[in-house]
């Protein structure tokens, strides 16, 4: 009863205090858990990525246009803005032209225009050149991590407060089940759960509007989607995913062609496994090289990391890498569900934006721009769509917070936007591949050249990724070659290059819903796929007492890619957010 009253009183006082832009701690709960400081903002954004930052920037721009001000707070679990950003990336400046038209004069890290565009079908020994269906003129090869850093600086110039190193671990609700903000992690808890010398209680960051832009499979976004049934509400199917593993190399001067773009299909993946690779030449003799593997693969012995190592030995890829060194390594999952999987993005008190909802257009090769029409089978990142989505959300949020309009206008704005139209047109490319590589290519070709999505048929996705894994007895183990230390490497060496670190003395952030399932199901039935799909070797089965194998979770290695949360056959692994500031340290990814 007391708690209800205190919540009610707090929400009333919040309304008054926000208009004065104050950030005075107003905690005081009448319960026994230690009191948390509470800080109030108008808009709270979780995740300083392209969607989150463009929403923040757009909000401040709208404030200036309307001669008002809103306090905007962006929380980022990475140690700095850009540390957890990984993407191909071929960038189309369309959305940025709208958001920050002076980006060139303001020295945005967008300096390498696309100079060539190749598309190869790989077999074990050959590369067959196919006509490139893309039109990349006017686009740039960039590092999204660098671009996001730059956007962060621009956002701060406009008065956005960005706090890296703080992980939002909890959603705060009021008595009416409306979201009123988030709570950050307690810090300084040791592995056994006891408080360490430097224990620090988390804080509550309250907002009149909360935008979740955590990226693909965001931990809070997944919670919210379940709680408010956002998939059913949007008439959406389940989301499907892929895992992208990437390296940035510094190569020989003679081999480097700034702006060269290459995509491949085929080897090393088999015809049942969707995916492909990319190789982009950036500036400063650096190239971005990666493999994207759809997570609905069936063979539990598949190891996406090892497939990537194999790729680098292909006679058409190898020459670029010889004489070069790897600068960084990383991995991240991405959405492939497209149109069919978009949930209803608005919930009481906020909205989900960016990849957390899933606006990625799979057949778009150009990461950031959602308006690309092409018949690709891979995708890299999704900048322009994310920027646009962020902008639309900001516009709706501005209306909601400033003028009391309904946030559901966001859903309407989305459906009337070019993003919706494009995603609708592209909706059948990916699902067509559930029939196999050749049928998929054929159907995609049909869609791209003739139908262009202008028909009422919408293919459904196959099984959810975690259900697609077959039992191990239906397949035989794949023999992967040993790394040679020059082109291919073992996981620890690669992991070292991701600058990943976590405070080691903290409770593992990868939680098992049922601790017995790994030894009872994952190992005997599926031959422990988590020990293969995790690109950071977090999951290892080691010999314990009585010579039985036991799961060991090396949480400190985690790259925050979320593959385990997606692919675990019994959905037993739950990815939760570790202490802020931990995780990879990407700077050129």
Partner 1 sequence: MVTIKRVIDYAVKIRVKPDKTGVVTQNVKMSMNPFCEIALEEALRIKESGLASEVIAVSMGPSQSIDTLRTGLAMGADRGIHVEANDSLYPLSVAKILKKLVEIEKPGLLILGKQAIDDDCNQTGQMIAGLLNWPQGTFASKVVLDKEKQVVTVDREVDDGIETLSLNLPAVITTDLRLNQPRYATLPNIMKAKSKPIKKYTPEELNVEIKSDLEIVEVTEPPKRKSGVIVSSVDELIDKLKNEANVI
Q: Which is nearer to partner 1, 44 or 95 (CB)?
A: 44
Six-digit token pair at 348? 């009481």
Query: Rounded to a whole number, what is the distance in angstroms from the first to the last CA of the chain?
Result: 51
Which span (62-70, 79-87, 397-405, 425-433) binds partner 1, by CB under 8 A? 79-87
The footprint of partner 1 on this chain (CB under 8 A) covers a number of residues equal to 29
**Catalytic entry in 73, 216, 355, 561:** 561
Question: Does 588 interact with partner 1 (rule: CB under 8 A)?
Answer: yes
What residues have CB less than 8 Å from 39, skipping those under 6 apart? 23, 25, 73, 203, 204, 205, 206
Q: Which is nearer to partner 1, 205 or 230 (CB)?
A: 205
- Taking the C-alpha atoms of residue 433 and residue 440, their distance in angstroms, rounded to an integer, is 4
Nearest to 440 by CA among 376, 356, 367: 376
Radius of gyration of the chain, Cα coordinates, nearest whole angstrom: 23
Q: Which is nearer to partner 1, 205 or 243 (CB)?
A: 205
Q: Which is nearer to partner 1, 67 or 197 (CB)?
A: 197
The answer to whether the CB of 368 falls within 8 A of the CB of 387 is: yes
Which span (194-202, 355-363, 365-373, 459-467) binds partner 1, by CB under 8 A? 194-202
Determine which residue in the list 118, 196, 233, 511 makes contact with partner 1, applying CB under 8 A: 196
Active site residue 216: no
Six-digit token pair at 585? 């340290």
Question: Does 83 interact with partner 1 (rule: CB under 8 A)?
Answer: yes
Active site residue 145: no
Per-position x/- string for 24-63, each x denoting binding to partner 1 as judged by CB under 8 A, each - no binding: -x-----------x-x------------------------
HSE-CB for 83 with a 13 A CA cutoff: 21
**Catalytic entry in 132, 368, 381, 469:** 368
Per-position x/- string for 299-338, each x denoting binding to partner 1 as judged by CB under 8 A, each - no binding: ----------------------------x-----------
- Taking the C-alpha atoms of residue 420 and residue 582, their distance in angstroms, rounded to an integer, is 35
Question: Does 232 interact with partner 1 (rule: CB under 8 A)?
Answer: no
Q: Which is nearer to partner 1, 80 or 565 (CB)?
A: 80
Q: How far is the CB of 222 from partner 1 (least distance, A)?
A: 24
**Catalytic entry in 18, 87, 169, 500:** 87
Determine which residue in the list 231, 313, 497, 574 makes contact with partner 1, applying CB under 8 A: 497
Q: Which is nearer to partner 1, 150 or 308 (CB)?
A: 150
- Taking the C-alpha atoms of residue 443 and residue 459, their distance in angstroms, rounded to an integer, is 11
- Taking the C-alpha atoms of residue 169 and residue 182, their distance in angstroms, rounded to an integer, is 7
Question: Does 298 interact with partner 1 (rule: CB under 8 A)?
Answer: no
The answer to whether the CB of 343 falls within 8 A of the CB of 335 is: no
Question: Does 500 interact with partner 1 (rule: CB under 8 A)?
Answer: yes
Which span (50-58, 267-275, 297-305, 494-502) binds partner 1, by CB under 8 A? 494-502
Q: How far is the CB of 205 from partner 1 (least distance, A)?
A: 7
The answer to whether the CB of 318 falls within 8 A of the CB of 487 is: yes
Q: Which is nearer to partner 1, 496 or 548 (CB)?
A: 496
Q: How far is the CB of 579 from partner 1 (least distance, A)?
A: 9
Q: How far is the CB of 75 from partner 1 (least distance, A)?
A: 8
- Taking the C-alpha atoms of residue 182 and residue 163, their distance in angstroms, rounded to an integer, is 14
3-state SS of 184-239 is ECCEEECCCCCEEEEEECCCEEEEEEEEECCCCCCHHHHHHHHHCCHHHHCCCCCC
Report in angstroms the alpha-carbon separations of 96 from 59, 110, 216, 368, 420.
Answer: 15, 11, 21, 10, 18
Which span (61-69, 366-374, 499-507, 541-549) binds partner 1, by CB under 8 A? 499-507
Active site residue 355: no
- Taking the C-alpha atoms of residue 150 and residue 100, their distance in angstroms, rounded to an integer, is 11
Looking at the DSSP assignment, which residues form a beta bridge with residue 333? 243
Per-position x/- string for 125-154, each x denoting binding to partner 1 as judged by CB under 8 A, each - no binding: ---------------------x--------
**Catalytic entry in 332, 427, 430, 532:** 332
Looking at the DSSP assignment, which residues form a beta bridge with residue 162? 74
β 275-281/539-543 pair status: unpaired
Question: Does 283 interact with partner 1 (rule: CB under 8 A)?
Answer: no
Q: Which is nearer to partner 1, 144 or 432 (CB)?
A: 144
The answer to whether the CB of 179 falls within 8 A of the CB of 172 is: yes
Active site residue 458: no
Chain positions contacting partner 1, by CB under 8 A: 23, 25, 37, 39, 79-80, 83, 146, 161, 163, 166, 184, 187-188, 196-198, 200, 203, 205, 327, 496-497, 499-501, 585, 587-588
């Amino acid at each position: 009863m007391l708690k209800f009253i205190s919540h009610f009183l707090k929400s009333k006082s919040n309304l008054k205090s926000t208009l004065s832009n104050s950030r005075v701690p107003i905690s005081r709960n009448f319960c026994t858990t230690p009191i948390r400081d509470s800080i109030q903002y108008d808009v709270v954004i979780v995740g300083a990525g392209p969607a989150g930052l463009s929403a923040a920037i757009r909000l401040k721009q709208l404030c200036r246009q309307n001669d008002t001000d809103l306090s905007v707070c962006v929380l980022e679990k990475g140690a700095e803005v850009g540390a957890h950003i990984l993407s191909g990336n071929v960038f189309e400046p369309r959305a940025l032209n709208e958001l920050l038209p002076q980006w060139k004069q303001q020295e945005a890290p967008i300096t390498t225009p696309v100079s060539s565009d190749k598309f190869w079908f790989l077999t074990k020994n050959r590369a067959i050149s196919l006509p490139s269906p893309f039109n990349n003129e006017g686009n740039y090869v960039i590092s999204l991590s660098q671009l996001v850093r730059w956007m962060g600086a621009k956002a701060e110039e406009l008065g956005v407060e960005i706090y890296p190193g703080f992980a939002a671990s909890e959603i705060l609700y009021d008595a009416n089940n409306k979201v009123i903000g988030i709570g950050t992690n307690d810090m300084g808890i040791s592995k056994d759960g006891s408080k360490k010398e430097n224990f620090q209680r988390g804080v509550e960051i309250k907002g009149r509007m909360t935008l979740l832009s955590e990226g693909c499979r965001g931990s809070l976004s997944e919670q919210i989607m379940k709680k408010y049934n956002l998939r059913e509400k949007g008439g959406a199917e389940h989301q499907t995913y892929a895992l992208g593993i990437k390296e940035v190399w510094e190569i020989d001067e003679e081999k480097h062609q700034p702006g060269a773009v290459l995509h491949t299909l085929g080897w090393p993946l088999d015809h049942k496994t969707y995916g492909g690779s990319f190789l982009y030449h950036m500036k400063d003799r650096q190239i971005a090289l990666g493999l994207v593997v759809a997570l609905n693969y069936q063979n539990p012995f598949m190891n996406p990391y090892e497939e990537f190592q194999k790729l680098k030995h292909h006679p058409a890829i190898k020459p670029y890498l010889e004489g070069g060194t790897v600068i960084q390594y990383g991995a991240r999952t991405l959405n492939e569900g497209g149109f069919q999987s978009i949930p209803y993005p608005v919930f009481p008190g906020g909205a989900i934006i960016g990849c957390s909802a899933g606006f990625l257009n799979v057949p778009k090769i150009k990461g950031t721009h959602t308006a690309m029409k092409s018949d690709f089978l891979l995708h890299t990142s999704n900048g322009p769509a994310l920027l646009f989505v962020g902008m639309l959300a900001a516009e709706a949020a501005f209306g909601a917070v400033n003028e009391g309009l309904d946030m559901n206008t966001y859903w309407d704005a989305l459906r009337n936007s070019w993003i919706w139209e494009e995603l609708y047109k592209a909706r059948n490319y990916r699902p067509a591949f559930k029939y196999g590589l050749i049928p998929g290519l054929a159907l995609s070709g049909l869609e791209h050249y003739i139908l262009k999505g202008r028909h009422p048929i919408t293919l459904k996705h196959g099984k959810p990724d975690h259900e697609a894994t077959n039992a191990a007895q239906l397949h035989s183990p794949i023999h992967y070659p040993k790394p040679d230390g020059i082109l291919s490497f073992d996981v620890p060496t690669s992991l070292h290059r991701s600058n990943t670190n976590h405070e080691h003395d903290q409770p593992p952030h990868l939680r098992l819903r049922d601790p017995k399932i790994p030894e009872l199901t994952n190992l005997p039935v599926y031959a422990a796929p988590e020990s293969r799909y995790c690109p950071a070797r977090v999951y290892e089965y080691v010999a314990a007492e009585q010579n039985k194998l036991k799961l060991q979770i090396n949480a400190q290695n985690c790259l925050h890619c979320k593959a385990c949360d997606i692919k675990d056959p019994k959905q037993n692994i739950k990815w939760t957010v570790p202490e802020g500031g931990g995780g990879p340290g990407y700077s050129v990814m």
